Copies of this chain bind each other. A is one copy, B any other.
Amino acid sequence: MKIAVAQLNYHIGNFEKNSELIFNAVDRAKKEEADLVVFSELSVPGYPPLDLLDRIDFIERCAATVNEIAKYCKGITAIIGSPTINPNSEGKKLYNSALAVSEGRILFTANKALLPTYDIFDEYRYFEPAKEFAVFDFMGYRLAITICEDLWDEQDFDNEFEKRRLYTVSPMEELAKEKPDMIINISASPFSHSKTNIKKGIFKGKAEKYGIPVINVNQTGANTELIFDGASMIINNRGEVWKRLPFFEESLVTFHAGDLIAGSEAEGDTDRDPVELIHKALITGIRDYFAKTGLKKCILGLSGGIDSALCLTLAAEALGPENARAVLMPSRYSSTHSVSDAIELAEKLGVAYDIVNIEKPFTAFTDILGPVFKGWGNDVTEENIQARIRAVILMALSNKFGCILLNTSNKSEAAVGYGTLYGDMAGGLSVLGDVYKTEIYKLAQYINRKSEIIPKNTITKPPSAELRPDQVDTDSLPDYRILDAILYQYIEQQKPPHRITGDNIDQETVRNVIRMINTNEYKRYQAPPVLRISSKSFGDGRRMPLVARY
Protein backbone atom coordinates (compact mmCIF):
# COMPACT_ATOMS: atom_id res chain seq x y z
CA MET A 1 0.00 0.00 0.00
CA LYS A 2 1.31 3.40 -0.96
CA ILE A 3 0.42 6.44 1.15
CA ALA A 4 0.62 10.14 0.24
CA VAL A 5 0.92 12.81 2.93
CA ALA A 6 -0.57 16.14 1.81
CA GLN A 7 0.57 19.16 3.81
CA LEU A 8 -1.54 22.08 2.57
CA ASN A 9 -2.51 25.66 3.41
CA TYR A 10 -6.28 25.93 3.96
CA HIS A 11 -8.42 29.05 4.23
CA ILE A 12 -11.18 29.04 6.85
CA GLY A 13 -14.63 28.78 5.30
CA ASN A 14 -13.28 28.97 1.76
CA PHE A 15 -14.73 25.64 0.67
CA GLU A 16 -14.01 26.24 -3.03
CA LYS A 17 -10.34 26.87 -2.39
CA ASN A 18 -9.95 24.07 0.14
CA SER A 19 -11.62 21.47 -2.08
CA GLU A 20 -9.57 22.62 -5.06
CA LEU A 21 -6.39 22.18 -3.01
CA ILE A 22 -7.59 18.72 -2.00
CA PHE A 23 -8.58 17.76 -5.57
CA ASN A 24 -5.14 18.75 -6.87
CA ALA A 25 -3.42 16.72 -4.19
CA VAL A 26 -5.67 13.73 -4.95
CA ASP A 27 -4.67 14.01 -8.62
CA ARG A 28 -1.01 14.16 -7.74
CA ALA A 29 -1.27 11.28 -5.27
CA LYS A 30 -2.95 9.17 -7.95
CA LYS A 31 -0.20 10.05 -10.39
CA GLU A 32 2.28 8.79 -7.81
CA GLU A 33 0.18 5.62 -7.52
CA ALA A 34 -0.86 6.19 -3.92
CA ASP A 35 -3.72 4.11 -2.53
CA LEU A 36 -4.35 6.50 0.35
CA VAL A 37 -3.85 10.24 0.61
CA VAL A 38 -3.97 11.85 4.04
CA PHE A 39 -4.97 15.46 4.71
CA SER A 40 -4.82 17.38 7.99
CA GLU A 41 -7.33 18.02 10.78
CA LEU A 42 -10.45 19.99 9.76
CA SER A 43 -8.98 20.36 6.29
CA VAL A 44 -12.45 20.82 4.81
CA PRO A 45 -13.38 24.04 6.69
CA GLY A 46 -9.80 25.10 7.53
CA TYR A 47 -8.58 25.43 11.11
CA PRO A 48 -9.64 27.07 13.44
CA PRO A 49 -13.21 27.79 12.28
CA LEU A 50 -14.13 29.09 15.78
CA ASP A 51 -17.80 30.05 16.19
CA LEU A 52 -18.61 29.41 12.55
CA LEU A 53 -19.08 25.89 13.96
CA ASP A 54 -22.19 27.17 15.76
CA ARG A 55 -23.91 27.82 12.42
CA ILE A 56 -25.96 25.02 10.85
CA ASP A 57 -25.38 26.45 7.35
CA PHE A 58 -21.61 26.22 7.86
CA ILE A 59 -21.84 22.58 8.97
CA GLU A 60 -24.05 21.77 5.97
CA ARG A 61 -21.41 23.22 3.65
CA CYS A 62 -18.78 21.04 5.32
CA ALA A 63 -20.94 17.95 4.73
CA ALA A 64 -21.57 18.90 1.09
CA THR A 65 -17.84 19.41 0.51
CA VAL A 66 -17.03 16.05 2.13
CA ASN A 67 -19.45 14.46 -0.35
CA GLU A 68 -17.81 16.20 -3.29
CA ILE A 69 -14.38 15.02 -2.19
CA ALA A 70 -15.68 11.48 -1.69
CA LYS A 71 -17.00 11.50 -5.27
CA TYR A 72 -13.73 12.90 -6.58
CA CYS A 73 -11.72 10.06 -4.99
CA LYS A 74 -12.00 7.44 -7.72
CA GLY A 75 -9.49 4.58 -7.40
CA ILE A 76 -8.01 6.20 -4.32
CA THR A 77 -9.04 6.76 -0.70
CA ALA A 78 -8.59 10.03 1.13
CA ILE A 79 -8.56 10.77 4.85
CA ILE A 80 -9.93 14.27 5.38
CA GLY A 81 -10.89 16.30 8.43
CA SER A 82 -14.32 17.80 8.97
CA PRO A 83 -16.82 18.54 11.72
CA THR A 84 -19.69 16.04 11.66
CA ILE A 85 -23.01 16.13 13.47
CA ASN A 86 -23.20 14.11 16.69
CA PRO A 87 -26.20 11.81 16.06
CA ASN A 88 -26.87 11.18 19.76
CA SER A 89 -29.57 13.12 21.58
CA GLU A 90 -27.17 14.19 24.33
CA GLY A 91 -23.88 16.09 24.26
CA LYS A 92 -22.26 18.74 22.11
CA LYS A 93 -23.70 19.01 18.62
CA LEU A 94 -20.52 18.10 16.71
CA TYR A 95 -17.61 15.71 16.48
CA ASN A 96 -14.18 16.67 15.20
CA SER A 97 -13.81 13.83 12.69
CA ALA A 98 -11.35 12.13 10.39
CA LEU A 99 -13.24 10.63 7.46
CA ALA A 100 -11.91 8.00 5.06
CA VAL A 101 -13.72 8.63 1.78
CA SER A 102 -13.68 6.96 -1.63
CA GLU A 103 -15.97 6.34 -4.61
CA GLY A 104 -18.60 8.71 -3.26
CA ARG A 105 -18.83 7.03 0.13
CA ILE A 106 -17.60 7.53 3.66
CA LEU A 107 -15.78 4.27 4.47
CA PHE A 108 -14.73 5.03 8.02
CA THR A 109 -15.06 7.72 10.68
CA ALA A 110 -12.79 8.37 13.65
CA ASN A 111 -13.78 11.09 16.11
CA LYS A 112 -11.39 13.08 18.24
CA ALA A 113 -11.34 12.06 21.90
CA LEU A 114 -8.94 14.55 23.47
CA LEU A 115 -10.20 18.08 22.92
CA PRO A 116 -7.58 20.70 23.74
CA THR A 117 -9.24 23.44 25.74
CA TYR A 118 -6.43 25.65 26.99
CA ASP A 119 -4.32 28.50 25.64
CA ILE A 120 -5.61 29.27 22.11
CA PHE A 121 -7.63 26.05 21.91
CA ASP A 122 -11.37 25.94 22.62
CA GLU A 123 -12.35 22.58 21.20
CA TYR A 124 -14.72 21.47 23.94
CA ARG A 125 -16.67 24.63 23.11
CA TYR A 126 -17.88 22.83 19.98
CA PHE A 127 -17.13 19.12 20.04
CA GLU A 128 -18.24 16.06 21.97
CA PRO A 129 -15.26 13.84 22.86
CA ALA A 130 -15.27 10.37 21.29
CA LYS A 131 -15.66 7.50 23.74
CA GLU A 132 -15.34 4.61 21.28
CA PHE A 133 -12.22 3.56 19.44
CA ALA A 134 -11.65 1.29 16.43
CA VAL A 135 -8.95 0.78 13.81
CA PHE A 136 -9.62 1.25 10.10
CA ASP A 137 -9.00 -1.94 8.09
CA PHE A 138 -7.61 -0.84 4.78
CA MET A 139 -5.92 -3.04 2.16
CA GLY A 140 -4.80 -5.54 4.76
CA TYR A 141 -3.45 -2.91 7.15
CA ARG A 142 -4.97 -1.92 10.45
CA LEU A 143 -4.72 1.85 10.75
CA ALA A 144 -5.10 3.65 14.08
CA ILE A 145 -6.51 6.99 12.98
CA THR A 146 -6.05 9.72 15.58
CA ILE A 147 -6.63 13.45 15.51
CA CYS A 148 -3.91 15.78 16.77
CA GLU A 149 -4.27 16.00 20.60
CA ASP A 150 -5.33 12.32 20.68
CA LEU A 151 -1.61 11.46 20.81
CA TRP A 152 -0.86 14.18 23.39
CA ASP A 153 -2.24 12.36 26.43
CA GLU A 154 1.14 12.99 28.05
CA GLN A 155 2.84 16.33 27.50
CA ASP A 156 4.98 18.91 29.23
CA PHE A 157 3.74 22.45 29.64
CA ASP A 158 5.80 25.60 30.13
CA ASN A 159 3.56 26.26 33.14
CA GLU A 160 4.70 23.60 35.57
CA PHE A 161 1.41 23.90 37.48
CA GLU A 162 -0.29 21.96 34.61
CA LYS A 163 -0.55 18.21 34.92
CA ARG A 164 1.50 16.05 32.54
CA ARG A 165 -1.58 13.93 31.96
CA LEU A 166 -4.34 16.39 31.15
CA TYR A 167 -6.88 13.73 30.21
CA THR A 168 -8.31 10.67 31.93
CA VAL A 169 -8.27 8.59 28.75
CA SER A 170 -5.50 7.58 26.32
CA PRO A 171 -6.86 6.97 22.82
CA MET A 172 -3.74 5.07 21.72
CA GLU A 173 -3.99 2.74 24.73
CA GLU A 174 -7.52 1.92 23.57
CA LEU A 175 -6.56 1.55 19.91
CA ALA A 176 -3.51 -0.56 20.79
CA LYS A 177 -5.90 -3.29 21.94
CA GLU A 178 -6.85 -3.79 18.28
CA LYS A 179 -3.22 -4.37 17.26
CA PRO A 180 -2.81 -1.62 14.67
CA ASP A 181 -0.01 -1.73 12.06
CA MET A 182 0.41 2.01 11.88
CA ILE A 183 -0.71 5.25 13.56
CA ILE A 184 -2.07 8.05 11.41
CA ASN A 185 -2.35 11.41 13.13
CA ILE A 186 -4.04 14.28 11.32
CA SER A 187 -3.32 17.58 13.04
CA ALA A 188 -3.63 21.35 13.03
CA SER A 189 -0.81 22.15 15.35
CA PRO A 190 0.31 25.78 15.48
CA PHE A 191 3.94 26.79 15.57
CA SER A 192 5.64 27.75 18.77
CA HIS A 193 9.41 28.05 18.78
CA SER A 194 9.66 26.19 22.06
CA LYS A 195 7.47 23.28 20.89
CA THR A 196 9.28 22.09 17.75
CA ASN A 197 11.28 19.43 19.51
CA ILE A 198 8.57 18.55 22.03
CA LYS A 199 6.26 17.78 19.11
CA LYS A 200 8.82 15.51 17.50
CA GLY A 201 9.33 13.76 20.84
CA ILE A 202 5.59 13.05 21.17
CA PHE A 203 5.40 11.26 17.80
CA LYS A 204 8.71 9.43 18.16
CA GLY A 205 7.64 8.32 21.62
CA LYS A 206 4.38 6.80 20.38
CA ALA A 207 6.17 4.95 17.56
CA GLU A 208 8.70 3.55 20.01
CA LYS A 209 6.10 2.62 22.59
CA TYR A 210 3.93 0.65 20.20
CA GLY A 211 6.67 -0.41 17.76
CA ILE A 212 4.74 0.85 14.72
CA PRO A 213 5.14 3.82 12.37
CA VAL A 214 3.50 7.20 13.03
CA ILE A 215 2.35 9.31 10.10
CA ASN A 216 1.60 12.87 11.20
CA VAL A 217 -0.02 15.29 8.75
CA ASN A 218 -0.09 18.93 9.82
CA GLN A 219 -1.42 21.95 7.96
CA THR A 220 0.81 24.83 6.92
CA GLY A 221 0.15 28.53 6.50
CA ALA A 222 -1.42 31.09 8.80
CA ASN A 223 -4.97 31.97 9.77
CA THR A 224 -4.86 35.40 11.47
CA GLU A 225 -2.68 34.96 14.58
CA LEU A 226 -2.09 31.23 14.33
CA ILE A 227 0.80 30.13 12.15
CA PHE A 228 1.03 26.44 11.25
CA ASP A 229 4.48 25.17 10.46
CA GLY A 230 3.63 22.02 8.52
CA ALA A 231 6.77 19.98 9.26
CA SER A 232 4.67 16.80 9.08
CA MET A 233 6.55 13.72 10.24
CA ILE A 234 6.82 10.23 8.84
CA ILE A 235 8.31 8.04 11.56
CA ASN A 236 9.28 4.40 11.20
CA ASN A 237 8.58 1.56 13.61
CA ARG A 238 11.78 2.25 15.55
CA GLY A 239 10.74 5.85 16.26
CA GLU A 240 13.16 7.36 13.74
CA VAL A 241 12.16 10.26 11.53
CA TRP A 242 12.05 8.63 8.10
CA LYS A 243 11.23 12.01 6.60
CA ARG A 244 10.14 15.40 7.90
CA LEU A 245 8.20 17.59 5.46
CA PRO A 246 9.33 21.20 5.03
CA PHE A 247 8.51 23.94 7.52
CA PHE A 248 5.95 26.57 6.41
CA GLU A 249 5.48 25.17 2.88
CA GLU A 250 2.96 23.05 1.08
CA SER A 251 4.27 19.61 0.24
CA LEU A 252 3.18 16.12 -0.81
CA VAL A 253 5.27 13.04 -0.08
CA THR A 254 4.52 9.39 -0.89
CA PHE A 255 5.94 6.18 0.57
CA HIS A 256 5.19 2.46 0.87
CA ALA A 257 3.56 1.54 4.16
CA GLY A 258 5.27 -1.85 4.13
CA ASP A 259 8.75 -0.32 3.94
CA LEU A 260 8.08 1.88 6.92
CA ILE A 261 6.62 -0.96 8.96
CA ALA A 262 9.68 -3.05 8.05
CA GLY A 263 11.84 -0.25 9.43
CA SER A 264 13.25 1.34 6.26
CA GLU A 265 16.29 3.49 6.79
CA ALA A 266 15.44 6.94 8.14
CA GLU A 267 16.54 10.23 6.65
CA GLY A 268 16.56 11.77 10.12
CA ASP A 269 15.82 15.32 11.07
CA THR A 270 18.29 17.93 12.19
CA ASP A 271 17.28 20.51 14.79
CA ARG A 272 16.40 23.87 13.32
CA ASP A 273 17.66 27.25 14.49
CA PRO A 274 14.68 28.80 16.34
CA VAL A 275 15.49 32.27 14.98
CA GLU A 276 15.31 30.94 11.41
CA LEU A 277 11.96 29.34 12.19
CA ILE A 278 10.59 32.48 13.84
CA HIS A 279 11.64 34.44 10.76
CA LYS A 280 9.82 32.00 8.46
CA ALA A 281 6.80 31.98 10.75
CA LEU A 282 6.46 35.76 10.69
CA ILE A 283 6.84 35.92 6.91
CA THR A 284 4.13 33.25 6.60
CA GLY A 285 1.92 35.09 9.06
CA ILE A 286 2.12 38.38 7.17
CA ARG A 287 1.78 36.79 3.74
CA ASP A 288 -1.31 34.75 4.60
CA TYR A 289 -3.06 37.54 6.49
CA PHE A 290 -2.98 39.57 3.30
CA ALA A 291 -3.58 36.70 0.87
CA LYS A 292 -6.58 35.49 2.84
CA THR A 293 -8.18 38.89 3.44
CA GLY A 294 -7.69 39.68 -0.24
CA LEU A 295 -5.69 42.84 0.38
CA LYS A 296 -2.25 43.33 -1.16
CA LYS A 297 -0.66 46.39 0.36
CA CYS A 298 0.60 47.32 3.79
CA ILE A 299 1.63 50.54 5.39
CA LEU A 300 3.57 51.27 8.54
CA GLY A 301 5.17 54.07 10.48
CA LEU A 302 8.95 53.94 10.16
CA SER A 303 10.57 55.59 13.17
CA GLY A 304 14.23 54.79 12.64
CA GLY A 305 14.02 52.35 15.56
CA ILE A 306 14.63 48.64 15.37
CA ASP A 307 11.03 47.40 15.74
CA SER A 308 9.58 49.23 12.75
CA ALA A 309 12.75 48.52 10.75
CA LEU A 310 12.42 44.78 11.34
CA CYS A 311 8.71 44.91 10.64
CA LEU A 312 9.18 46.68 7.31
CA THR A 313 11.92 44.27 6.28
CA LEU A 314 9.67 41.30 7.02
CA ALA A 315 6.72 42.91 5.23
CA ALA A 316 8.80 43.71 2.15
CA GLU A 317 9.93 40.09 2.00
CA ALA A 318 6.43 38.70 2.58
CA LEU A 319 4.50 40.99 0.24
CA GLY A 320 7.15 42.40 -2.08
CA PRO A 321 8.64 45.87 -1.61
CA GLU A 322 6.17 47.26 -4.15
CA ASN A 323 3.33 46.37 -1.78
CA ALA A 324 4.84 47.99 1.28
CA ARG A 325 4.70 51.67 2.08
CA ALA A 326 6.44 53.53 4.88
CA VAL A 327 5.57 56.83 6.52
CA LEU A 328 8.15 58.85 8.43
CA MET A 329 6.47 61.19 10.89
CA PRO A 330 9.09 63.29 12.65
CA SER A 331 8.22 65.67 15.47
CA ARG A 332 10.06 68.41 17.34
CA TYR A 333 11.52 65.62 19.54
CA SER A 334 12.80 63.40 16.72
CA SER A 335 16.53 62.93 16.41
CA THR A 336 18.09 63.59 13.00
CA HIS A 337 19.23 59.96 12.76
CA SER A 338 15.64 58.78 13.17
CA VAL A 339 14.82 60.18 9.74
CA SER A 340 18.13 59.32 8.07
CA ASP A 341 18.15 55.72 9.38
CA ALA A 342 14.58 55.24 8.21
CA ILE A 343 15.30 56.62 4.75
CA GLU A 344 18.38 54.44 4.44
CA LEU A 345 16.35 51.31 5.16
CA ALA A 346 13.41 52.21 2.89
CA GLU A 347 15.78 52.89 0.02
CA LYS A 348 17.71 49.69 0.59
CA LEU A 349 14.50 47.69 0.57
CA GLY A 350 13.05 49.58 -2.41
CA VAL A 351 9.99 50.61 -0.42
CA ALA A 352 8.20 53.88 -1.20
CA TYR A 353 8.02 56.32 1.69
CA ASP A 354 6.43 59.63 2.60
CA ILE A 355 7.60 62.14 5.17
CA VAL A 356 4.77 63.82 7.03
CA ASN A 357 5.74 66.15 9.85
CA ILE A 358 3.33 66.06 12.78
CA GLU A 359 4.05 69.58 14.03
CA LYS A 360 0.94 71.22 12.50
CA PRO A 361 -1.68 68.91 14.00
CA PHE A 362 0.29 68.83 17.28
CA THR A 363 0.11 72.62 17.47
CA ALA A 364 -3.57 72.53 16.50
CA PHE A 365 -4.38 70.11 19.33
CA THR A 366 -2.30 72.12 21.79
CA ASP A 367 -4.23 75.23 20.75
CA ILE A 368 -7.73 73.84 21.08
CA LEU A 369 -6.95 71.94 24.28
CA GLY A 370 -5.18 74.93 25.83
CA PRO A 371 -8.30 76.44 27.43
CA VAL A 372 -9.41 73.05 28.77
CA PHE A 373 -5.95 72.18 30.17
CA LYS A 374 -5.38 75.64 31.67
CA GLY A 375 -3.46 75.31 34.92
CA TRP A 376 -2.32 71.76 34.22
CA GLY A 377 1.30 71.07 33.29
CA ASN A 378 2.61 68.83 30.53
CA ASP A 379 2.64 65.13 31.24
CA VAL A 380 2.17 61.84 29.40
CA THR A 381 -0.93 63.34 27.74
CA GLU A 382 1.19 65.33 25.31
CA GLU A 383 3.31 62.26 24.50
CA ASN A 384 0.17 60.27 23.76
CA ILE A 385 -1.20 63.03 21.52
CA GLN A 386 1.87 62.68 19.29
CA ALA A 387 1.49 58.91 19.08
CA ARG A 388 -2.21 59.30 18.26
CA ILE A 389 -1.58 61.94 15.60
CA ARG A 390 0.68 59.41 13.89
CA ALA A 391 -2.09 56.82 14.04
CA VAL A 392 -4.56 59.29 12.46
CA ILE A 393 -2.09 59.88 9.61
CA LEU A 394 -1.37 56.17 9.09
CA MET A 395 -5.04 55.24 9.18
CA ALA A 396 -5.83 58.04 6.73
CA LEU A 397 -3.32 56.59 4.26
CA SER A 398 -4.65 53.12 5.02
CA ASN A 399 -8.21 54.25 4.24
CA LYS A 400 -7.29 56.30 1.18
CA PHE A 401 -5.01 53.76 -0.50
CA GLY A 402 -6.56 50.52 0.78
CA CYS A 403 -3.51 49.28 2.68
CA ILE A 404 -3.53 47.46 6.01
CA LEU A 405 -1.65 49.22 8.79
CA LEU A 406 0.94 46.92 10.35
CA ASN A 407 1.49 47.34 14.05
CA THR A 408 5.16 47.31 15.04
CA SER A 409 4.98 46.93 18.86
CA ASN A 410 7.07 44.19 20.42
CA LYS A 411 6.04 41.78 23.19
CA SER A 412 8.15 43.44 25.88
CA GLU A 413 6.48 46.83 25.50
CA ALA A 414 3.03 45.28 24.98
CA ALA A 415 3.58 43.41 28.25
CA VAL A 416 4.36 46.47 30.35
CA GLY A 417 1.94 48.79 28.55
CA TYR A 418 4.71 50.94 27.09
CA GLY A 419 2.60 52.09 24.17
CA THR A 420 -0.30 54.39 23.37
CA LEU A 421 -3.77 52.97 22.81
CA TYR A 422 -5.11 54.25 19.45
CA GLY A 423 -1.56 55.50 18.83
CA ASP A 424 1.38 53.17 18.22
CA MET A 425 -0.83 50.31 19.39
CA ALA A 426 -3.03 50.71 16.28
CA GLY A 427 -2.91 48.40 13.28
CA GLY A 428 -4.70 45.54 11.56
CA LEU A 429 -2.06 42.99 12.50
CA SER A 430 0.66 42.99 15.14
CA VAL A 431 3.71 41.46 13.47
CA LEU A 432 6.07 41.49 16.45
CA GLY A 433 3.66 41.43 19.38
CA ASP A 434 4.84 37.95 20.41
CA VAL A 435 8.56 38.73 19.93
CA TYR A 436 10.45 39.95 22.99
CA LYS A 437 12.82 42.88 22.46
CA THR A 438 15.89 40.66 22.98
CA GLU A 439 14.54 38.37 20.24
CA ILE A 440 13.98 41.39 17.99
CA TYR A 441 17.73 41.97 18.04
CA LYS A 442 18.40 38.34 17.17
CA LEU A 443 16.02 38.53 14.23
CA ALA A 444 17.66 41.75 13.01
CA GLN A 445 21.06 40.07 13.17
CA TYR A 446 19.67 37.04 11.33
CA ILE A 447 18.35 39.32 8.58
CA ASN A 448 21.74 40.99 8.32
CA ARG A 449 23.55 37.63 8.30
CA LYS A 450 24.72 37.98 4.69
CA SER A 451 24.77 41.72 4.21
CA GLU A 452 23.61 44.79 6.11
CA ILE A 453 19.94 45.38 5.36
CA ILE A 454 18.82 46.93 8.63
CA PRO A 455 21.16 49.90 9.24
CA LYS A 456 23.74 49.22 11.92
CA ASN A 457 22.84 52.45 13.71
CA THR A 458 19.23 51.30 14.02
CA ILE A 459 20.44 48.16 15.80
CA THR A 460 23.04 49.75 18.08
CA LYS A 461 21.37 52.96 19.27
CA PRO A 462 19.52 52.95 22.61
CA PRO A 463 15.79 52.34 22.12
CA SER A 464 13.68 55.49 22.47
CA ALA A 465 10.06 56.51 21.88
CA GLU A 466 11.25 60.09 21.12
CA LEU A 467 8.13 61.64 22.61
CA ARG A 468 9.99 64.12 24.82
CA PRO A 469 13.53 65.54 24.79
CA ASP A 470 16.33 62.97 25.29
CA GLN A 471 13.89 60.20 26.22
CA VAL A 472 15.17 56.60 26.25
CA ASP A 473 13.24 53.42 27.10
CA THR A 474 15.38 52.74 30.16
CA ASP A 475 13.97 55.96 31.74
CA SER A 476 10.83 53.94 32.54
CA LEU A 477 11.86 50.31 32.04
CA PRO A 478 14.64 48.00 33.23
CA ASP A 479 17.28 46.92 30.73
CA TYR A 480 15.55 44.68 28.17
CA ARG A 481 17.63 41.62 29.12
CA ILE A 482 16.37 41.88 32.68
CA LEU A 483 12.85 42.82 31.63
CA ASP A 484 12.51 39.92 29.17
CA ALA A 485 13.80 37.39 31.69
CA ILE A 486 11.13 38.52 34.16
CA LEU A 487 8.41 38.60 31.50
CA TYR A 488 9.17 35.09 30.28
CA GLN A 489 9.00 33.63 33.78
CA TYR A 490 5.76 35.46 34.57
CA ILE A 491 3.92 35.09 31.26
CA GLU A 492 5.09 31.81 29.69
CA GLN A 493 6.04 29.93 32.85
CA GLN A 494 3.44 31.60 35.09
CA LYS A 495 5.82 31.50 38.03
CA PRO A 496 4.79 33.12 41.31
CA PRO A 497 6.61 36.46 41.77
CA HIS A 498 8.89 35.21 44.56
CA ARG A 499 10.20 32.42 42.31
CA ILE A 500 11.20 34.78 39.47
CA THR A 501 14.97 34.98 39.60
CA GLY A 502 18.07 35.47 37.47
CA ASP A 503 21.12 37.65 36.87
CA ASN A 504 20.58 41.19 38.15
CA ILE A 505 16.94 40.48 38.95
CA ASP A 506 15.80 41.81 42.33
CA GLN A 507 12.38 41.42 43.89
CA GLU A 508 11.54 45.12 43.68
CA THR A 509 12.06 45.12 39.92
CA VAL A 510 10.00 41.93 39.67
CA ARG A 511 7.14 43.54 41.60
CA ASN A 512 7.26 46.71 39.49
CA VAL A 513 7.24 44.77 36.23
CA ILE A 514 4.36 42.55 37.34
CA ARG A 515 2.38 45.58 38.43
CA MET A 516 2.90 47.10 34.96
CA ILE A 517 1.79 43.86 33.29
CA ASN A 518 -1.33 43.56 35.41
CA THR A 519 -2.45 47.16 35.22
CA ASN A 520 -2.22 47.22 31.43
CA GLU A 521 -4.57 44.35 30.58
CA TYR A 522 -7.10 46.96 29.39
CA LYS A 523 -4.71 48.16 26.68
CA ARG A 524 -3.98 44.67 25.37
CA TYR A 525 -7.73 43.94 25.32
CA GLN A 526 -7.98 46.38 22.37
CA ALA A 527 -4.74 45.43 20.64
CA PRO A 528 -4.68 43.99 17.10
CA PRO A 529 -4.32 40.23 16.56
CA VAL A 530 -0.74 39.16 17.29
CA LEU A 531 1.22 36.67 15.14
CA ARG A 532 1.87 33.88 17.62
CA ILE A 533 5.32 32.30 17.80
CA SER A 534 5.59 31.38 21.50
CA SER A 535 3.71 29.08 23.82
CA LYS A 536 1.90 32.03 25.44
CA SER A 537 1.07 34.96 23.23
CA PHE A 538 -1.08 37.97 24.08
CA GLY A 539 -4.51 37.65 22.54
CA ASP A 540 -6.99 34.83 22.60
CA GLY A 541 -4.58 32.40 24.30
CA ARG A 542 -4.27 34.56 27.41
CA ARG A 543 -7.57 35.69 28.94
CA MET A 544 -7.18 37.94 31.94
CA PRO A 545 -9.90 39.76 33.83
CA LEU A 546 -9.79 43.56 33.47
CA VAL A 547 -11.29 44.64 36.75
CA ALA A 548 -9.45 42.17 38.96
CA ARG A 549 -7.12 43.07 41.81
CA TYR A 550 -4.20 40.68 42.12
Contact = CB atoms under 8 A, between A and B. Distances in A.
Contacts of A17: 549
Interface stretch (A21-29, A354-362, A481-489, A504-512): A354-362
Interface string A203-231: 00000000000000000000110000000
Given A11-B547, A91-B163, A545-B13, A393 B422 contact: no
A501 interface: no
A227 to B, nearest CB: 12
Contacts of A125: 117-118, 122
Nearest to A291: B547
B11 A549 contact: yes
Contacts of A548: 11-14, 46, 49, 52, 223
Nearest to A154: B90
Contacts of A48: 545
Given A55-B161, A163-B93, A396-B369, A13 B549 contact: yes
A442 interface: no
Contact of A288 (B167, B496, B547): B547
Given A14-B548, A369-B393, A400 B422 contact: no
Contacts of A389: 392
A122 B55 contact: no
A360 B367 contact: yes
Interface string A149-187: 000000000010111011110000000000000000000
A446 interface: no
B54 A494 contact: yes
A397 interface: yes
Interface in A369-403: 369, 372-373, 376, 379-381, 384-385, 388-389, 391-393, 395-397, 399-400
A139 interface: no
A497 B550 contact: no
Nearest to A549: B14
Interface stretch (A235-243, A272-280, A460-468, A520-528): A520-528
Nearest to A518: B13
A136 interface: no
| Copies per complex of this chain | 2
Contacts of A357: 368
Interface string A530-550: 000000000010111111111
A58 interface: yes
A223 B547 contact: yes
Interface in A51-103: 51-52, 54-60, 86, 88-93
Nearest to A55: B494
Interface residues of A, number: 98
Nearest to A11: B549
Given A396-B365, A421-B395, A57 B496 contact: yes
A359 B236 CA distance: 71
A441 interface: no
A395 B384 contact: yes
Contacts of A546: 224, 293, 529
A363 interface: yes
Nearest to A88: B168
A10 to B, nearest CB: 11
A52 B368 CA distance: 43
A421 B56 CA distance: 31
A61 to B, nearest CB: 8
A168 B86 CA distance: 12
A50 interface: yes
A373 B400 contact: yes
A428 interface: yes
B360 A56 contact: no
A427 B210 CA distance: 56
A48 B167 CA distance: 23
A365 B363 CA distance: 11
Contacts of A165: 89-91
27 contacts: A48-B545, A49-B548, A54-B494, A57-B497, A59-B161, A60-B496, A90-B168, A91-B167, A92-B163, A117-B122, A122-B125, A124-B124, A223-B548, A292-B547, A354-B372, A360-B367, A369-B393, A369-B396, A369-B397, A381-B396, A381-B399, A385-B392, A385-B396, A422-B422, A428-B522, A526-B526, A526-B527
Interface of A: 11-14, 17, 46, 48-52, 54-60, 86, 88-93, 117-118, 122, 124-125, 128, 159, 161-163, 165-168, 223-224, 288-289, 292-293, 354, 356-358, 360-361, 363-365, 367-369, 372-373, 376, 379-381, 384-385, 388-389, 391-393, 395-397, 399-400, 421-422, 426, 428, 494, 496-497, 522, 525-529, 540, 542-550
Given A57-B496, A384-B396, A388-B395, 4 more contacts: A12-B549, A13-B549, A49-B548, A122-B122
